[in-house]
Amino acid sequence: MSDDAVWLQAVLDDFDAFLVDHAANERKASASAMSLVAHYPDRTVLVARLIDLAIEELNHFRQVNNLLRERNLALTHDVRDPYVRSLRAEVRDGSAAYFLDQLLVASVIEARGVSRFSLLANAAPLAPALRRFYSTLAASESRHTDLFLDLARLYFEADEVTSRHGDWITLEAEIARAQPPGPRLH
């Protein structure tokens, strides 16, 4: 069985736990966007684009929270995501390197969301409404992936972005493979 198939089966086996984790990740995505806004307030293009992103992610959080309520589920206390923690541990020091890596980490996390939500959008056991929801989220995550890459190209040379992004793609795949399968987004 492929890694994707193992992940999908783990999610389908405990979809309620997945929804709780998914909600937490949407909230954290909104908070992360606002953290970048707070950290780089002088980057006016970044500020404008990430405020919009934070609002969109917060809306996704609301949508997933509504799914939780429909199932009589509740949010749980925050749990640190080992996948995200492992990625963030690889962010370089130094002002420019740190900034570039923050943008590229966000991009690869969003790309992982595209992959995972696309699997759910095509998962026959899910209700058609849920499959449509995850199809919409996959498209949204794809736009977010591009947004972070566009911001990186705005503030850094294209060759540097391309090179470092390749490094992050490789590293992210290794980190994702190292995660035990379970009903989590990452």
Per-residue pLDDT of the chain (186 residues), as tens digits, is: 789 999 999 999 999 999 999 999 999 999 999 999 999 999 999 999 999 999 999 999 999 999 999 999 999 998 899 999 999 999 999 999 999 999 999 999 999 999 999 999 999 999 999 999 999 999 999 999 999 999 999 999 999 999 999 999 999 999 999 999 899 999
Q: In whole angstroms, what is the distance from residue 40 CA to residue 160 CA?
A: 20
Conformation bin of residue 31: beta by default, left when phi > 0, alpha when psi is -120 to 50: alpha
Please say whether the beta carbons of 109 and 173 come within 8 A: no
What is the Cα 181 distance to its own chain's centre?
Answer: 17
- How many degrees, rounded to 5, is the angle at CA 176 between CA 173 and CA 179? 150
Please say whether the beta carbons of 72 and 41 come within 8 A: no
Neighbours of 46 (CB within 10 A): 22
Q: In whole angstroms, what is the distance from residue 149 CA to residue 161 CA?
A: 8
Cα distances (angstroms) measured from residue 33 to each of 18, 108, 152? 22, 14, 14
